[in-house]
Structure 1
Amino acid sequence: MSKSIFPDFLINEFARGRCVLFLGAGISATAMSDDGQHPPDWSTFISGAIKLISVKKIQKEARRYLKVGSNTLALQSIINASSRADYLQYVEKHFNNPKYKPSDVHTTIEELGAKIVITTNFDSIFDNYCRSIASQGFKVITYDNESLPDALRSDASLIIKAHGTIDNPQNMIFSKADYHKAKKDYGRFYEILKAIFITNTILFLGCGMADPDLLEILEEVKITASQEKPHYLLTTSGQSETQRKDLLDSYNVETLIYGHRHTDLLPNLIELKELVFERRRILGIH
């Protein structure tokens, strides 16, 4: 049997309830409709939204941003140069589509039993699944909700929507301008988020780790907290050694490679769940 990719420290943190999951767009992309369609990834979403721009010059500019991976600038170009009504209609179509059903990845993530799940995803695929099967309290809290401190101290499991939700599209965070406004208006949320990062081990799933807002928080946490205990990113082998070293050196995030294909994620999550359950049994934690 091959050696597990999961460090003993991470398994122990999970078993003792000190691990927070951070879900990115890659997790939503595992959902599927009855006709075999998946939600669009960010690149596909932005590429389609560029068509909302009527000025060809700005369209080309947005495509250049997208090509080099500057998603926030591409989105800013779209928001600046398109009809807000058309853009919100496009957002609603892609992030509020009830045809997408949760995948085995979603169900396994829920079974891991993390008390806190943070996500930058706007859709409600995972939220609705958790609500549908929860045997006890389950809360979904957005960055603009002042009740987060009380929710953290309750017995309820939490999903924290760090960029907002499709249920309130006006407050969804897409661009740098949106982020700066949110940080100004809801500064306490970002202080609480930072505190969660400092006092817990974070496991990133389905994250490209290119979000400047997330990297800013990680950088601040690295300066503040101990470097002996890293956070973890579960990802494919697509990252270079230089990228992995930069994540560790700059943001204290250790990379765990689960395989060459995205389909390799599920068996690794199932393995993690089994390891965590076994550790809880040994520790007498229920």
Structure 2
Amino acid sequence: MINWPDQLIKDIARRRAVIMLGSGVSKNSIGKDGARPPTWREFLDSALSNVPPKSKHLVAALNGGDYLSACEWIKNRMDEGWNEYLRNVFLRPAYQPNKVHELIFELDAGIYLTPNFDKIFDNYVTERTDGTTIIKTYYDDDVHQLIRGGTRLILKMHGSIDSPDRMIFGRAKYSETRIKFAPFYHLIDALLLTNTFLMIGCGLNDPDFQLLFENYSYRFPSGAPHYMTYADPAPQELESLLRDTRKIKLLKYSRAAEHKELEDSLVELNKKVEDERESIAASFTW
């Protein structure tokens, strides 16, 4: 079981935490014909099989973890078929929410941040909140107006399958977005400084995350850490590197039985957060 830090529990209880959902959360959802949302590597492997031949430079990029370059080349090969392929993968299977989605929602955070293109969590939260949750992307120019508004907010950091042309997928789009939509990244910088981030189902290789957390770490060397759930094993060297360069503390759990321990740990976290909120309400220490 995850040993949840007291400070994280307090910050979630006071809605001073941002919950970040990665592709690992969507991975356990099931859609039509048993389809599951792919990880980035699974998506690229599948896409590559649709645009033969498997060129050496493409295979080398995938095996070396250079997913941005591989994605850019595959997209160029697919040409006008790219957007249709994206819809077939991320939209048409009609993925259903899973238990982890439900447990994350029950934490009742004010802001959720996700790089996921799918709409599984978006649709679930919209239904549970009778459409009162606002969903925004990196290119919406009014996001800053909502951060202080007290409305439940989902920020889609890399765009949505609703607008495939604006999904940040590939090296060119990453580079363009950092410059053209720099204010959005400044907003995330501000959230990192003023809130505690809890990352669930997130990977370590996303270039946006690397840059954001490294900037935070070196700008504010005495700043408080953020947290990431992580399935064992995690080498001590990796834990130290993440703490030293990104101020991320790993919260480890067993990956056995399809990450069942993560679900059980989130159930416990919800109870601890609820107990903390009751304590705060009783003592009027909001």
Alignment TM class, shorter chain as reference: over 0.9
TM-score (norm 1): 0.92
Q: Which moved more, 1:24-33 or 1:90-99?
A: 90-99
Unaligned runs of 5+ residues in structure 1 are none
Report deviation, 1:68: 2.6
2:147 is aligned, of 143, 152, 155, to: 152
1:77 aligns with 2:58: no
Report deviation, 1:62: 1.7
Letter in structure 2 aligned against 1:68? G
Match of 1:99 in 2: 94
2:63 is aligned, of 63, 67, 91, to: 67
Report deviation, 1:228: 4.5
Aligned residues of 1:52 and 1:87 also touching (Cα < 8 A)? no
Residue aligned with 1:83, SS: helix
Q: Structure 1 runs of 4+ off > 6 angstroms? A: none
Distance 1:167 1:132 in 2: 18
Work out the number of aligned pairs and report it. Answer: 281
How large is the Cα RMSD of the aligned pairs? 1.8
Residue aligned with 2:28, SS: coil
Deviations along 1:155-200, one digit per CA (max 9) or x if unpaired, are 3100000000000000000122211111221111111111111111
Q: Which moved more, 1:34-43 or 1:259-268?
A: 34-43
Report deviation, 1:67: 1.9
TM-score (norm 2): 0.92
1:175 is aligned, of 170, 176, 194, to: 170
Residue aligned with 2:95, SS: coil
Letter in structure 2 aligned against 1:265? L
Residue aligned with 1:66, SS: helix
Deviations along 1:187-232, one digit per CA (max 9) or x if unpaired, are 1111111111111110111011111111101111112235341000
Letter in structure 2 aligned against 1:39? P
Greater relative contact order (CA < 8 Å, ≥ 6 in sequence): 2
Q: Which moved more, 1:122-131 or 1:257-266?
A: 257-266
Match of 2:202 in 1: 207
After TM superposition, list the pairs within 5 Å mapping 1:226-245 onto structure 2. Answer: 226-245=221-240
Aligned residues of 2:35 and 2:93 also touching (Cα < 8 A)? no
Report percent identity of matched pairs: 32
After TM superposition, list the pairs within 5 Å mapping 1:178-197 onto structure 2. Answer: 178-197=173-192
Letter in structure 2 aligned against 1:62? L
After TM superposition, list the pairs within 5 Å mapping 1:5-154 onto structure 2. Answer: 5-33=3-31, 35-57=33-55, 60-80=56-76, 82-135=77-130, 137-154=132-149
